[in-house]
Each structure stands twice: as C-alpha cells, then as structure tokens.
Amino acid sequence: MGGIIQSPARAPKTGAPDGTAGRGEDDHPMRRFRMRNDLERAVIDGFALPLGLEPGRIGAPKQGYILGYTPGEEEPDTYAFHVVVSHERLAPLVRSAFGLLPAEIYAIVEISSRDAYRTTDVFLGEELIRLEDFRQGWERFEPFLLEDGTVAAGANSDDPFIEIFLDQWKGLSIHVPPSMREEVEAVLAGFELEEVAQTWDPSDGGEGTVEPMQTRPVLDVDDASDIDELLLELRRAWRLELNIDPETNVDESGRRLGLTLWHAVVVVADAAGAADRGGYASIWATAGSLQQMERLIEGALEDYPEWKFQEIYAIDRVAYDERPEALVELPPRSTEAAVHQVYIDTWESPPEPAPEPPDG
C-alpha cells in the first residue's frame, strides 16, 4: 500500500536543492510525503493492523468498546470509551468521533522519542485552534496518522472536557462528560459497535519472551522528506509545543540529570532576505535545560551573521556514548554549559528557467 501526503515544500534536511525551497510560507507548492508501498499489512484472524505494526504471538482483539466511568475530584466526571476496530473501519470512525468536539480545541501528538532520557515526546497545543483547522491538518496527514505505530494523536477541549485520541495501536479513546454518553453510544452504534468485556487480551500487553507488537517505519524516507519534517508541519498547523519544563533537566522518573549533551537542528534563513537561500544549522552543546540550550543556540548563531534563526527543526539530549566522532575528545563530565560544534548545511534553489520567447 502506498500513498502521498501533501504538505508545503521546504528545503530538505541535507541541504540538497529541491527547486522549491525558500519561498514564503503562504506560497509554497505542496510537498509530497510518500507512504511506503513495499509493506504487507498484517492480519490476525481477519483483524487488519496498521502498516506500522507487526504482531508477535498475539491474538486478534474483540471489535467493540470498553466503557469506564471516572468520578472527578479536581477534574470533572467523565465517561471513557476505548474503541478497537479493524483498520479498514478506522478512518470513518475517527472522523465521526471528531464531530463530538466543540468549535475550538487543543491538539495533541505523542511520538516515540530519540531523546536519550525519555521514550515519548508529548506535544500539546499551546493555544486554541479551530476544529476546522485541526481537521484539515488531520485529513492532510491521515494516511500517516492511521498507519504509523510510533505516533498517537488527537484533540481535547476544556469546557466541556472532551478528548478524542488515537493511540499507537490505533485504539480510539473518547472521554466525555456524563451528559454526552448517549451521544457517543449513538455514534458507535452507527458503526455497529457494542460494549464488550475486553478488546485486546490484557495478557498480550504484559511482559514476555516475545514482544506483542513491533513497529516499522511507514514513510518512504528520502533526503527530501522524513518524519521530523512531517512532525514540524503538524507542529505548525496545530500550534504544538513540546510538553516539558524548559527550566529543568530530568529523566522520565524525575531524576535530575545536571548537564547533558544536546544536539539541535535549526532552520536558518538568509539574513539579507534572499528567498532562494537557506540552511540547517547542526549544533552540539552541553546544557542543563532546554531553555539553556536555546540560549546557547542563539549565541552560537551570533557568530554567523549571514544567517538568522527561523525555527527549531529537532532538539534532543544525547547519551555521551552516542556523541559524534568529531567530539571524541569531549570529557564525559562537563562542568559548564558550552557549544562544542556548529555546522551549517546550506541550500540554494536553482534559478527559475527563462520564459520561452513568443512565437514570431
């Protein structure tokens, strides 16, 4: 199965020219993110999985939904539905569920992290966006969001509290106030779904000698499009920010890490305003927080006045043993924050072809 996801074109991360880079944000031609066409979909006893998941020794789930009730303390009371359907039924179900949301929402994306000290990056909407704009972004990237086993996404609202969220296994969670229970049940009944005692066998999610699911990439990755680029487009469209405390440096258990090695890739623009020239700055540094790393990036770019900061493409903490060869002499324990290496990979769009002379 293959497919094309359209997105505004940008310069590739490698800096190779693609003939469309550097144009204004509002006049980009649409960039093509291509889904792989060499994957065979796994099917367990008639239950189709997303392309990004390969099963181990695992049985097929029961299609339907589990219903739970959570009494509120500081938060409002909610009913929680968790819905599981075979892949061919998923897209229309998710689109219908989004119809339960109000006119303005916050977007959510969770994705497997490359950061050395956490397993998942959580991106939350920093401001309300229109449901219409969220749905446009969803439709643009739907093939990826429905197929990739490392990504979960959805949206929620505060008043009333409603959340529609598609997890990594592509189970659909629906949280609503008690007054909306019948409305949700009516939506699910329209898909001939009923409440069941369980969907996936709980034992399949436990520890064992064989992992219940393995993930595999679904994007046809090349120099001009990869998952970082796609995530950047989602971050822009849905106003997403990484949900971490920018002033601290802790691991998933809350243990303070002190100074750690960081790597950032930063999009830079030509300081003179040339629309056909840009670059990606690769910056390695030691820092004690995201905020401090951002200050180091700002200071590092001051040494390159021909470039101006545009946005962060990717930023992660890196284990000392994973440092690049150029930093092999870097001591394992740093006593102060510092930039260790800056490399700017530049690109230039080829000139537009001259127009054909008129006949005669």
Q: According to the model, what pLDDT value does residue 149 have?
A: 95
For residue 19, the tally of other CB atoms under 10 A from its CB is: 10
Contacts 24+ apart (CB under 8 A), 189-194: 190/96, 191/85, 191/89, 191/92, 191/93, 191/96, 193/63, 193/64, 193/65, 193/83, 193/85, 194/64, 194/65
285 or 334, greater pLDDT: 285
pLDDT of 28 strictly over 50: no
Q: Flag the least confident range among 20-34, 67-81, 208-222, 239-253.
A: 20-34
**Average pLDDT of the segment spanning 262-281:** 94
Residue 10 has pLDDT above 60, yes or no: no
Determine the average pLDDT of the residues in 9-35: 41
Say which amino acid occupies 196.
Answer: V
320 compared with 23, residue with greater pLDDT? 320
User: Using CA atoms, how far apart are residues 327 and 259, in angstroms rounded to an integer?
Assistant: 16
pLDDT averaged over the chain? 86
* Cα-based distances in Å from 241 to 64, 112, 320: 33, 15, 26
Q: What is the pLDDT of residue 33?
A: 81
Average pLDDT of the residues in 47-52: 97
Residue 208 has pLDDT above 50, yes or no: no
| 63 pLDDT more than 90 | yes
Average pLDDT value for residue range 128-151: 96
Q: Give residue 359's pLDDT.
A: 53
Residue 11 has pLDDT above 90, yes or no: no
pLDDT score recorded for residue 356? 53
- For 112-123, how does the pLDDT look when each residue is reduced to its tens digit (9 = 90+)? 999 999 999 999
Percent of the chain with pLDDT over 70: 85
At residue 352, the pLDDT reads 54
Task: Give the confidence band of 217 by pLDDT, cuts at 50, 70, 90.
Answer: very high
Instruction: Name the residue with higher pLDDT: 221 or 87.
Output: 87
Mapped onto helix, strand or coil, the DSSP state of residue 352 is: coil
Closest CA to 218 of 173, 264, 168, 265: 168
Give the residue ranges of DSSP H helices in the chain: 90-98, 131-147, 181-189, 227-238, 290-301
pTM for this one?
Answer: 0.83
Max avg pLDDT among 30-44, 211-225, 289-303: 289-303
- pLDDT, residue 101, reads 98
pLDDT of amino acid 353: 53
Cα-based distances in Å from 53 to 49, 59, 128, 213, 302: 7, 14, 32, 6, 44
**Residue 23 confidence (pLDDT) above 70:** no
User: Residue 350: what pLDDT?
Assistant: 57
